[in-house]
Amino acid sequence: MKVDYIVVGIGLAGISFCEQLKKHKKTFVVFDNASQLSSTVAGGLYNPVVLKRFTSVWKSKEQLEIALPLYAHLEKELKVTLDYKIPVYRKFASLEEQNDWFTASDKPILSEYLSEKLIKNRNQAVEASFGFGEVLNTGRIDVKTMIEAYKADLLKNKLLFEEAFNHNAITIDYNTIQYKNITTTNIVFSEGYGVKQNPYFNNLPLVPAKGELIIIHAPDLKIDYVLKAGVFLIPLEDDLYIVGATYEWKDLSNDITKEAKETLLNKLKKLINCSFKVVNQVAGIRPTVKDRRPLVGQHHTYKNLFVLNGLGTRGVMIGPYVAKQLYDFIENDVPLEKDIDINRFK
């Protein structure tokens, strides 16, 4: 078999890059062993504002201009619903936070995202005496559904190998790579935390951060917005809500923990005062980077090996943006932005 690309890993980064390949009619196959749990357990929010500090997310406008059309395209291609438009409400803890919000909303970079209206809390199940600020142009991507549907489509077209990729089976001869019975020109590694076992890119400063979410059933809560206040609360269907998320840097297993559950419940009980039941808990390892920028680039010796990683907690926004950059770098010699280029760590 001969293809233009091998893509290793089919989480948010891998899907975004595969879509670039499809768009430009490049041939490819994908290797994935279902280890992309950081993507499948993601909350999936796209929100252009850092709500802790009321600042703009890096390149948020540029990211959304690429990401949202991509998800709309995938909805049509895969015949699934992925993009749920939903506002994000930031709970104010004080009058000072209200003032900080309105000051930030006057800034040109944030004016189209931060509503200038103070929203009063009228829901007795929510504790928010100082009200909320509304973030505009937000929503949730159903990442789990997207990955499952995308993998099913790849399998149907015989483009997916559901197995671990053996890095030691690569033979590189100038501009040609042989991997088992596959001949290719380029390999893109989008393995998430799995890059730590990749001998070509395991020196990159990836900082794995375990995250856990719980799902609750709360029939009396009745909110139709994402609520951010210490934890985030994302409404699903049938009175179900995602509550997250935790951060853990020592325990890097995919096992759920009692400690994370208790942490989330303690924060949740300060936010809502209605009855609820925990119906599920999930865990995954986020591929984060100390400077909060992705890891994108080319191997320093083997020029047809590339990495697309480190999407962190905002993968649904940044994944399509950096995937396009990597494609343009490989195929069109367009330089990568310095902020994302792995050469910044040389």
pLDDT digits over 227-246, tens only?
A: 999 899 999 999 999 999 89
Question: What is the C-alpha to C-alpha distance for residues 28 and 47, in angstroms, rounded to an integer?
Answer: 32
The DSSP element (H or E) to which 309 belongs, if any, is: strand 305-309
The 3-class SS string of 192-223 reads: HHHHHHCCCCCCCCEEEEEEEEEEEECCCCCC
User: Does residue 11 carry a pLDDT above 80?
Assistant: yes
pLDDT at 174: 82
Angle at 325 between CA 146 and CA 74, to 5 degrees: 20
pLDDT computed for residue 37 by the predictor: 62
DSSP string, 328-346: HHHHH-PPPPTTTBGGGG-
Residue 39, pLDDT > 70, answer: no
What is the rounded CA–CA span in Å between residue 192 and residue 278? 28
The average pLDDT across 160-184 equals: 95
**Could you give the 3-state DSSP secondary structure of residue 280?**
strand
Confidence of residue 82 (pLDDT cuts 50, 70, 90): very high
- pLDDT (0 to 100) of residue 42: 73
Is the pLDDT at 34 greater than 90? The verdict is no
Residue 322 has pLDDT above 80, yes or no: yes
Specify the pLDDT at position 230: 85
Give the predicted TM-score (pTM) of the model: 0.94
Q: Kindly tell me if the per-residue pLDDT of 114 is higher than 70.
A: yes
* CA 93 – CA 64 distance, rounded (Å): 29
Domains and CATH numbers, the chain: 2-47+144-205+291-345 (3.50.50.60), 85-136+207-289 (3.30.9.10)
The DSSP line for 74-101 is HHHHHT---EEE--EEEEPSSHHHHHHH
From CA 287, how far away is CA 251, in angstroms rounded? 14
**Each residue of 241-296: pLDDT tens digit?**
999 989 998 998 889 999 999 999 999 999 999 999 999 999 988 889 989 999 99
